[in-house]
């Protein structure tokens, strides 16, 4: 999924359902974007199976085809496979060494590791 596709998916997940205009207005609050670009990306996401659409009155309403957690899990799995040859440990080591984890994050990871054992 491209950055633009993911950005639009976040908008649709947040709204649970959205028209092209809804997504366009939300993105426009953050940056300049063309209405036709939003429409094109929504169509691509629907073709890829990430969104479902149905016509309500004169507009199409888009809904996520899968829950956010399921999509994120799939994307993380794909990332680990491509970048770390399927091994999660190098990713975790990188994240810990990069120091972007708060003490609360570290405590939560410890709790999850104990639970997994």
Q: How many angstroms separate the CA atoms of 2 and 16, rounded?
A: 20
Across residues 77-105, what is the average pLDDT? Answer: 87
pLDDT tens by residue, 47-90: 999 999 999 999 999 999 999 999 889 889 999 999 999 998 89
Structure tokens at 36: 């036709």
Closest CA to 74 of 26, 24, 9, 23: 9
For 1, which DSSP code? Answer: -
Q: How many angstroms separate the CA atoms of 24 and 33, rounded?
A: 7
> Do 57 and 10 fall into the same domain?
yes
CATH number, domain of 55, equals 1.10.10.10
- CA–chain centroid gap for 43, Å, is 17
> Do 18 and 58 fall into the same domain?
yes
Instruction: Find the domain containing 21 and state its range.
Output: 3-64
């Amino acid at each position: 999924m491209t950055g633009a596709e993911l950005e639009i998916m976040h908008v649709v997940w947040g709204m649970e359902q959205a028209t092209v205009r809804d997504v366009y207005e939300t993105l426009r609050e953050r940056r300049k974007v063309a209405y036709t670009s939003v429409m094109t990306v929504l169509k691509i996401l629907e073709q890829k199976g990430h969104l479902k659409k149905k016509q309500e009155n004169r507009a199409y309403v888009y809904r996520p085809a899968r829950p956010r957690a399921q999509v994120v899990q799939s994307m993380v799995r794909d990332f680990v496979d491509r970048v770390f040859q399927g091994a999660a440990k190098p990713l975790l080591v990188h994240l810990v060494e990069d120091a972007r984890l708060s003490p609360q994050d570290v405590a939560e990871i410890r709790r999850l590791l104990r639970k997994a054992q």
